[in-house]
Chains A and B, each alone.
Chain A
Amino acid sequence: GAGVSQSPSNKVTEKGKDVELRCDPISGHTALYWYRQSLGQGLEFLIYFQGNSAPDKSGLPSDRFSAERTGGSVSTLTIQRTQQEDSAVYLCASSLAPKTQYFGPGTRLLVL
């Protein structure tokens, strides 16, 4: 079956613009996670959705970052008024249970 997909694969934007990143999880997976990976670094947790529960937003670095998950499936991560330090790879993962997370290929964001 299909794995986690993300779009776009690459995004170049100008400082101050808003961007939306999309994640399509594996069908049937109830949990969805967003992580950020800066160059040469490990992954940093951003936000977690589990079913209909309130999302865990504890990793979001500022109020410019937000995410939603519609219909328990597709998720969108929005970054408003982008800054150069937002440049990173944004990775989405999904899981059937809060154990094995399967990652998408990521969206490479470059803020000029």
Chain B
Amino acid sequence: GQQLNQSPQSMFIQEGEDVSMNCTSSSIFNTWLWYKQDPGEGPVLLIALYKAGELTSNGRLTAQFGITRKDSFLNISASIPSDVGIYFCAGQIVGNQGGKLIFGQGTELSVKP
């Protein structure tokens, strides 16, 4: 089935550092989403992007919908310990495919105080 390539697979950073992760796809999506998952929990939506080229911020998080509609990145500025978790990108085609999400493999973020 469809897959997204998400990188890096894991990151170990110092508190206060900035973080960047990205996703690429061979398919076009009309929506890109970024989720965070804490242990034992379901994913929680961080940012949703609906237009090619769109750049959206949510606090210390910034994400962009690539102009080709085949990629997206997420940046986290000035990381803090509670940023620890697994971050997933997801692409969505809204329409006749019903809106199901195609997920990347995840980026596991560790923040050292």
> Could you tell me if B48 and A99 are in contact, using CB atoms closer than 8 angstroms?
yes
Q: What bracket does the count of chain A residues touching chain B fall in?
A: 20 to 34
B102 at the interface (CB under 8 A from A): yes
Minimum Cβ distance to chain B for residue A34 (Å): 10
> Could you tell me if A43 and B103 are in contact, using CB atoms closer than 8 angstroms?
yes
Residues on B with beta carbons closer than 8 Å to the beta carbon of A93? 42, 101
Bits for B77-107, please: 1 = Cβ < 8 Å to A, else 0: 0000000000010101010011111111110
Cα A28 to Cα B50 with chains together (Å):
23
Q: Which residue of B lies closest to A49 (CB)?
A: B98
Residues on B with beta carbons closer than 8 Å to the beta carbon of A100? 33, 45, 48
Known: A4-B42, A99-B94, A105-B42. A45 touches B106 (CB 8 A): no
Known: A42-B88, A99-B31. A48 touches B43 (CB 8 A): no
Cα A33 to Cα B10 with chains together (Å):
28
> Could you tell me if A43 and B48 are in contact, using CB atoms closer than 8 angstroms?
no
Q: Which residue of A lies closest to B3 (CB)?
A: A42
Residues on B with beta carbons closer than 8 Å to the beta carbon of A43? 43, 88, 90, 101, 103
> Could you tell me if A102 and B45 are in contact, using CB atoms closer than 8 angstroms?
yes
Q: What bracket does the count of chain B residues touching chain A fall in?
A: 20 to 34
B6 at the interface (CB under 8 A from A): yes
B59 at the interface (CB under 8 A from A): no
Between A and B, 27 residue pairs with Cβ closer than 8 Å are: A33-B100, A35-B101, A40-B106, A41-B105, A42-B6, A42-B104, A42-B105, A42-B106, A43-B43, A43-B90, A43-B101, A44-B103, A45-B1, A45-B102, A48-B100, A56-B97, A59-B1, A59-B100, A91-B42, A91-B43, A93-B101, A99-B48, A101-B99, A103-B43, A105-B41, A105-B42, A106-B41
Contacts A59-B1, A105-B41 known; list 18 others, CB within 8 Å.
A4-B42, A35-B103, A42-B88, A42-B103, A44-B1, A44-B103, A45-B100, A50-B99, A56-B100, A91-B43, A95-B99, A98-B98, A98-B99, A100-B33, A101-B99, A102-B45, A105-B42, A106-B41
